[in-house]
Amino acid sequence: MIQKRSTTRLALLFGFALVAAACGADADDTAPASDTEAPADAEPANTEPIKIGALTSLTGVFTSWGIPSSKGMQLAVDEINAAGGVDGRMLELVVVDDQSNPEEAVIAFERLIEEGVVAVGGTISSGVGLATALVAEEQQIPLFLSKAGSAAILTTDSRYTFRTCLPAAPMIAEPWAQYATEQGFTRIGVIIADYEWGQSFGSAVESEFGSLDGVEYQIEVAPVPEQDFTTYLRSLEAFEPDLILGTGHPPGVAAITVQSADLGFDVGVSGPSSSLSAVMSAVGDSAIGRYLDYSCADYFSDSYQDLAKRYIASSGETFMEDDAVAGFGVVTMVADAVKNVGDDPAAIAAYLHTQTYDLPGYAFQMGWTEWGELATSQPLLIQVGAGPAPEGLNTGGDWYPELLLLPDVLEPYVP
């Protein structure tokens, strides 16, 4: 469990440099020049940039998650640097493409370590998370997972790997079970991908829904690259599900939504915390009122809406995804850690384990168990509504998320 907690006022971070600059100006105006010279052997101020790695999917099947993540990180870097950096040192974001591939990700992570990064964020794929978490723990470099939810990534000995947006798969089936119970659903159709995340989510469905009286479920397993789900949906027809959980098949959920409608399924289809703009681009009106998802972003809060307007203006994106919110938060937290304990990665990780953060745009307070699981995760369940979106928050269309359920705070998964 977390041994120490203190809420960090994030606004202070951005104000440090401005306050220092103002105080410096006052001193120059009112105080006489000092006759005392600095000692000849005084150590010069460190002006080297603080490097933070963005190891994320810029190509491959998880691109629509990875690009917003890196752009959210860049926004935080730009805003902190505009306010004077961290103790006068500028942040530098080093972006590398993991290609949605574990082997390539390990190579890229090792390259980032050679570059001298103090932390790495933006990991999307569970396969990538499994591979890079081993490197993070061995090399003692903080690694922040955005959407890598496999239960196998963290162990009770993990100290340098942190979840930020998506909790472990065994936790994320619980909100859907709460929603199904509220709606009185009794038959749950499930399509999962045959890889770490899909298998973890499938196991979570068996555990969570299997414990509910009067609820049945049917699980179909498809390859990760699959885009034609006709066979799997046909297998669900006779079952007549009240809800289709596509959460376990991230690359295929848009196709599942469209093809289920074409086959006459008039039920909601849940996603895997997808890029909503990517879903809407692929699905269109078929998603309105049918596409359901969960999010670490609170699209209805003032802090999200203020942050999203800045993000859209700076990034060229039309909507701020929750991965972008998570990326912004990662840089903000790392900068706070450097401000307080310096740029040693091991010290940064140890410091973060003692903190909780009220991050802009987040649906819940950020904090961790001692092994890096989210301590108070409470993702929102939403559906895509017809809109119109609040002004300035979706420049690519009228649609906007609508709240389905604020679930109970999720019990942290113990590996």
Q: Does domain 169-296+380-405 have CATH number 3.40.50.2300?
A: yes
pLDDT at 185: 97
Give the strands of the sheet with 187-193, arranged side by side. 216-222, 187-193, 243-245, 268-270, 291-295, 380-385, 400-405
Angle at the Cα of 28 from the Cα atoms of 22 and 33, rounded to 5 degrees = 150
Contact in structure between 127 and 321 (CB atoms under 8 Å): no
> Residue 291 has what pLDDT?
97
The pLDDT of residue 176: 96
CATH class of 7-28+47-166+300-357: alpha beta
Whether residue 180 has pLDDT greater than 90: yes
pLDDT given for residue 295 in this prediction: 97
* pLDDT tens, position by position, 234-282: 999 999 999 999 999 988 999 999 999 999 999 999 999 999 999 999 9
CA dihedral sign, ordered 106, 111, 115, 116? positive
Q: What is the pLDDT of residue 286?
A: 87
Confidence of residue 45 (pLDDT cuts 50, 70, 90): confident
Q: Are 257 and 269 in contact (CB under 8 A)?
A: yes
First to last CA, the chain: 13
Q: Distance (Å, rounded) from C-alpha 381 to C-alpha 147? A: 16
Query: What confidence score (pLDDT) does residue 42 get?
Result: 55
Average pLDDT over residues 393-407: 96
Q: What is the tens place of the pLDDT at every residue in 293-346? A: 999 999 999 999 999 999 999 999 999 999 999 999 999 999 999 999 999 999
Confidence of residue 46 (pLDDT cuts 50, 70, 90): confident
Angle, helix 322-341 to helix 302-315, in steps of 10 degrees = 100
Task: Say if residue 3 is exposed, middle or buried (CB neighbours under 10 Å; 0-12, 13-18, 19+).
Answer: exposed
Question: Over the range 27-48, which residues count as b (16 or more CB within 10 Å of their CB) and which as e?
Answer: eeeeeeeeeeeeeeeeeeeeee
DSSP alpha helix (H) spans, 31-139: 63-82, 102-115, 126-139
Q: What is the pLDDT of residue 1?
A: 34
Residue range 74-114, pLDDT digits in tens: 999 999 999 999 999 999 999 999 999 999 999 999 999 99
Sign of CA dihedral 148, 197, 67, 329: negative
- 112-160, pLDDT tens digit by residue? 999 999 999 999 999 999 999 999 999 999 999 999 999 999 999 999 9
Per-residue pLDDT, 67:
97
Give the pLDDT band of residue 195 (cuts 50, 70, 90). Answer: confident
Asked if the domains 7-28+47-166+300-357 and 169-296+380-405 are classified in one and the same CATH topology, the answer is yes
- Going by their DSSP bridges, the two strands 291-295 and 380-385 should be labelled as antiparallel
| Domain range summary for the chain, segments of one domain joined by + | 7-28+47-166+300-357, 169-296+380-405
Q: Is 218 exposed, middle or buried (0-12, 13-18, 19+ CB in 10 A)?
A: middle
**378: three-class secondary structure by DSSP:** coil
